[in-house]
Amino acid sequence: MFSWVNREHGGRNAEGEMFQTVTEGLQSLYTKKLLPLEQTYLFNDFHSPALEPADFNNKPMVLLVGQYSTGKTTFIRYLLEQDFPGMRIGPEPTTDSFIAVMHGETEGVIPGNALVVDPNKPFRKLNSFGNAFLNRFVCSQMPNQVLQSISVIDTPGILSGEKQRISRGYDFAQVLQWFGERVDRIILLFDAHKLDISDEFSEAIRAFRGQDDKIRVVLNKADQVDTQQLMRVYGALMWSLGKVINTPEVARVYLGSFWSKPLQNMENRKLFEAEAQDLFKDIRSLPRNAALRKLNDLIKRARLAKVHAYIISHLKKEMPAVFGKDSKKKELISKLPEIYTALQREHHISPGDFPPVARMQEQLQHYDFSKFPPMKTKLIESVDKMLATKIAGLMTLIREEESAMPARMVSGGAFQGSEEGPFGHGYGEGAGEGADTEDWIVARDKPKYDEVFYSLSPINGRISGANAKKELVTSKLPNSVLGKIWKLSDCDRDGMLDDEEFALAQHLIKIKLEGFELPNELPAHLLPPAHRKHRSDALSIPFAE
């Protein structure tokens, strides 16, 4: 069934393992190869709790983070096209809890303390954040087509000021980091009128360090400003984000108004529709890419676990046997940056694989270095072998699963309305214009095109490719595009154009100049009336290089 399974051993690989799915393979590799290393060197205490079966089996999750009244809950309502249990919307800070919106056969709300003991939900390890957090964590279940493919996590609105940070009763940034490591997409929402990034919001964004590939930015309520203001707002947002997200790549920002009410400003309607379509396309692809994302996260986790093991074993090696342990511990903590540099050189590790120095120094204060385990090379070698050989096998398995099963995409809710009927994105535009009319859409401008056609001295009602080329190149489109237009327009493939074919070529040029893409095959409604009975298979393209 799968190429990396050795059939000579009864469907098992060399170690007696047989993985029928990618999920099963990921879980097995983690449990047998990576988890022993994590447990030996206290990785789960320093960085991230151990993964459980539900972490491998859960649906893709989308995490929404933003300041209060930026439209997080409304965004979820917009995607689902229905209210969900526990939903509250208002201009004031209404959502004061983490709400996991998930699929269920009946509507209901599961409180946090019950949620973290459910083995079928991927939230059991949140128990470590205590009652202060669990009292502010619920699961909202409901039957909804969108939720059959993804789950959405709503978060409390972020305010500015120190009071809120202290009064939460739990480490907000640590909770966000926990979710950030497990979700498939992190959406940061901004309001066109609230671009300031507060201290807590900055801390929240920094909690997603190492998860940059998951982050998307949404500038919501963009219809409340005109085009000139929107340009300034967009520039200000990019400047603010540049100070917080320390990466050379520019974060993808989607502009729009993600709710079901009429747009307040219609100037940028087409832009908002295109941006919404791009965002929907990104979210819809999450189920298809879920296995690849989990594999990627496992690789990142394995690299961090290896580095952590090197750090812990080095600290153990440097500790004295009997006297001066406390002073040596303080010295090692203060010299942790130098230790990082030495380990980078010794083991050829990238600086980006190391955990933040300041946080590691703070955590190390609470441990007795003399009780740390020494270096166990077999554990490291086992993880290295997993990364070098086993992961490649899973990559093959992912591709085979994708080819064997139909593409899994998010459907229903707002995703359904964005594709079907005359209000689907791009309907009636570009090459699709005129698809639902009886008349040939090109005929509207044919008199104008005929004037040009007859000025090119047609012979027997046709112009040669050379004459057509002289006129078509005046559009200034590259030869590669004009070659495609010629191929679409020369319906009888005789290397010449009659008046209808020439008009079609001009129409396709107009479509391209207006910013639309050309079709790969000529749609039936664009086929000239005189050529609708038969088409020859001969081919002659005057724009070939």
Q: What is the Cα–Cα distance from 29 to 391, expressed in whole angstroms?
A: 9
| Contact (CB, 8 A) for 176 and 204 | yes
The residues with which 65 forms a beta bridge, in sequence order, are: 188
Secondary structure class of 183 (helix, strand, coil)? coil
- pLDDT of the residue at 93: 54
Whole-number Cα distances in Å, 493 to 502, 507, 540: 13, 18, 6
- pLDDT of the residue at 163: 47
The H or E element that residue 98 is part of is strand 98-103
- pLDDT of the residue at 541: 54
| Contact (CB, 8 A) for 231 and 216 | no
Low-confidence ranges of the chain (pLDDT < 50): 1-14, 16, 163, 535-539
297-315 in b/e form (b: 16+ CB < 10 A) is bbeebbbbbbbbbbbbbbb
Whole-number Cα distances in Å, 87 to 94, 98, 100, 136: 9, 11, 11, 14
Q: What is the Cα–Cα distance from 235 to 115, expressed in whole angstroms?
A: 42
Secondary structure class of 345 (helix, strand, coil)? helix
- pLDDT of the residue at 56: 87
